[in-house]
Amino acid sequence: DAMVIQNPRYQVTQFGKPVTLSCSQTLNHNVMYWYQQKSSQAPKLLFHYYDKDFNNEADTPDNFQSRRPNTSFCFLDIRSPGLGDAAMYLCATSRDYSGGVRTFGSGTRLTVV
């Protein structure tokens, strides 16, 4: 089945230690998104790619970076995780921008200790 796969499902990292979360898709969608979702809140968009064109949300901290080496893969790098970065990180894809249906992965639950 075509899908969005996130690895790992659970990630524990130390305060200040860089961590990378990964996302892959078999849908061949042009757009890939990263969202942060804290407990009992709606997902918050961090950034997105249209193909290799990177788009950062204005309020996304500099601590968060992303890479998209090819159509299928996208990575979220957190350079120096703080306790406030503990959250569920969701990857999503859509075919394009115009009212595109977004397909979400199962998420990576990040714990910072």
Partner 1 sequence: GENVEQHPSTLSVQEGDSAVIKCTYSDSASNYFPWYKQELGKGPQLIIDIRSNVGEKKDQRIAVTLNKTAKHFSLHITETQPEDSAVYFCAASIAEKLVFGKGTKLTVNP
Return residues touching partner 1 (CB under 8 A). Answer: 4, 6, 31, 40-43, 45, 48, 50, 55, 90, 92, 97-107, 109
For residue 101, the 8-state DSSP code is P
Amino acid sitting at position 76: L
Residue closer to partner 1, measured from CB, 20 or 41 = 41
Instruction: Provide the β-strand partners of residue 75.
Output: 22, 67
Residue closer to partner 1, measured from CB, 71 or 106 = 106
Chain centroid, CA 14 distance in Å:
19
Residue 37 corresponds to which tokens in the numbers above?
């979702």
Rounded to a whole number of angstroms, the minimum distance from the CB of residue 13 to partner 1 is: 19
Q: Report in angstroms the alpha-carbon separations of 110 from 12, 82, 90, 99, 101.
A: 6, 11, 11, 30, 26
Residue closer to partner 1, measured from CB, 32 or 78 = 32
Residue closer to partner 1, measured from CB, 81 or 107 = 107
